[in-house]
Every structure is written in structure tokens, then in C-alpha cells.
Amino acid sequence: MSAAPPADAAGAPEVVLVNGSSAASLAPLDRGLHFGDGLFETIACRGRRPRLLDWHLERLALGCARLHLPPFGADELRQEILALARAAENSIIKVIVTRGSATARGYGPSGREKPTRITLRYRWPDENPDWSTHGVRVRTAALRLGENPALAGLKHLNRLEQVLARAENSDPQIAEALLFSSSGLLVSGTMSNVFIVSQSRLRTPRLDRCGVAGVMRRAVLGCARSAGVDVAEAALRAEDLADAQEIFLTNARVGIWPVRQLDARALTPGPVTRALQIRLAPLLEEPPDA
């Protein structure tokens, strides 16, 4: 079966479904391959339940609308994700939705495409538990992100910038790289959003020019607001990062990672980070849509 990954591949998924079928393979004409013409979601599943599923599906639907992708069968996808999550105690489910096979040569969609849905379930990865408690080491990427409001916020398939930023450094002790945009704005990590705390004010980059609007970023913004923290999305630059007393990263799987080192600078996970980790903890183990 062509869809099966090689048995010895590290990190290979346990399940691969193409349009719901484990026997299906991907058409070489798929516009996801040719142009990155599609979107994805990476969903953390704990206790056999997908975490923040509604928000993942909401972001996917928003992305489809912005890219003018045809409807992809949201109910069917939800059932598929729930069934896959139920079959393993903890897992990561990645969903890719593309515009489907090309019906003509060239970039322009014909409007007659039928979307392709690829669903993969991976084992929950082993990870150093210290990273959540004591924090992670982070570096600043040399690569800068291009700015395009038409794509900003979306979790689309054009990810060469993230590939190149990750490839700048292969030290497994460096958990993440922070990225600035071409005009010098702080954006995010390669696979996480970033928050900074300065004089008890919590700030995270506005994502109106580039970056992905993460579901865990949304959860943390909500937690912070309900806790009465002074929190806002803002245009942040290198000097804001340098002035920050606390820095932390968010992502759907890890929740909050305090940053304990940024390039050569040591940081201590501070009170705002710790308070938000405590408030977020129930959500990480118990999805709100349970």
C-alpha cells in the first residue's frame, strides 16, 4: 500500500487516511503539492480526546474561506478526528486540507476542484518534562519572514520559511527559533507563538502581516484576560524582546514553554508565566468540548 510509511521511519504516523481511506494515496496532480494550495491543523489529543477541537476547526474553516477553498466536509472531518483520537490514549492528529487535484495547468483555480483531506495520527512524542517546568533554550533565527496580509494568521501549506529557519541550527537542546519579519517586527517561533512580559504587561505580536494565529495563543489570551492581566496584541520589535522580563512560547501540544535562555541571555520563568501555566493546566488535560 503506497500510503504506508516505511516501517523504520522515526516519527512515522500510525494512521494515514486520504479522504477517509487508509488504502488511498495522493494524486500527483494535487495542488497541495504543486503550490502548497491548502491548510493544516495539528491537534493535541489527550485522554483519547482532541484538545480545543472547535477552535482548530474554526481556524480551518476561516482559512478555507480566505483561500476560497471549496467546503471540505467539516462534520465528516470532526467525526474522523474524534474516532482517531479515541483509539489511542494520547496522540497528535495532523489534518491537511488542499484544494484538490488540478483540473487545469497553471496557478488559477478552475473552481471545479474537489478538496483533498489527509488525516495522520502520530504517537505523542517523548519530550524532556523540564522544558515545561524549567523552560527552554531559544535562539533568534537569521531568516526573516516575508510579510503578506493575505496569508497572515493562516496555517497554510507554504512553510519553506519555517523549514529553512529550523535548518539553521540542529542542536536538539535549542527548542525553538524566534522569527522577525522583513520589516523588523517580532512574529513568532517556527512552530509556536511568543508572549513577552514587561512591567507586568503581557504582549504578543499582532499577526496582521505574517505568522500563524495559534489556538493555544488564543487560549492564553483568554486566560490572561479572565485573570485580569494587562494583555494586548502589539507591534513588537527587537528592543521589546530585549526589555522583556519574561518570555514564553505557546503551541497546541506543549501549552506554555517558559524561555530560560534566548541566544546568550539567561531568563528566569517569572510570575506572569507561572500564573498562566497554572490557569491553563485544566484545559491541557480536559478539552472544553468534552
Q: What are phi and psi of 31, to 5 degrees?
A: -70, -15
- Of the pair 13, 287, the CB lying nearest a copy of itself is at 13
Rounded Cα gap, residues 108 and 276, in angstroms? 45
With contacts defined by CB under 8 A, name the span among 7-15, 48-56, 226-234, 237-245 that binds a copy of itself: 7-15
Asked whether position 158 contacts a copy of itself by CB under 8 A, the answer is yes
Asked whether position 18 contacts a copy of itself by CB under 8 A, the answer is yes
Asked whether position 34 contacts a copy of itself by CB under 8 A, the answer is yes
Rounded Cα gap, residues 223 and 282, in angstroms? 11
Asked whether position 7 contacts a copy of itself by CB under 8 A, the answer is no
Asked whether position 35 contacts a copy of itself by CB under 8 A, the answer is yes
Q: Which of 79, 148, 200, 268 binds a copy of itself (CB under 8 A)?
A: 148
Q: One symbol per residue from 192 to 231: x for binding a copy of itself (CB under 8 A), - otherwise; what is it? A: -----------------xx---------------------
Closest CB 167 distance from a copy of itself, rounded Å = 6
Contact residues for 245 (Cβ-Cβ < 8 A; gap 6+): 197, 198, 199, 267, 270
Sheet-wide strand order for 15-18: 15-18, 116-123, 91-98, 38-46, 49-50
Q: One symbol per residue from 228 to 267: x for binding a copy of itself (CB under 8 A), - otherwise; what is it? A: ----------------------------------------
Contacts of 162-170 with CB under 8 Å at 24 or more apart are 162/190, 162/191, 165/141, 165/190, 166/190, 168/141, 168/142, 168/143, 169/139
Asked whether position 72 contacts a copy of itself by CB under 8 A, the answer is no
Rounded Cα gap, residues 286 and 102, in angstroms? 41
Burial class (CB in 10 A: 0-12, 13-18, 19+), 35: middle
With contacts defined by CB under 8 A, name the span among 19-27, 128-136, 267-275, 277-285 that binds a copy of itself: 19-27
Q: One symbol per residue from 161 to 180: x for binding a copy of itself (CB under 8 A), - otherwise; what is it? A: xxxxxxx--x----------
- Of the pair 32, 269, the CB lying nearest a copy of itself is at 32
Contact residues for 233 (Cβ-Cβ < 8 A; gap 6+): 203, 204, 205, 206, 207, 221
Q: One symbol per residue from 77 to 96: x for binding a copy of itself (CB under 8 A), - otherwise; what is it? A: ---------------x-x-x
Closest CB 103 distance from a copy of itself, rounded Å = 5
Give yes or no for a contact between 97 and 39, defined as CB atoms under 8 angstroms apart.
yes
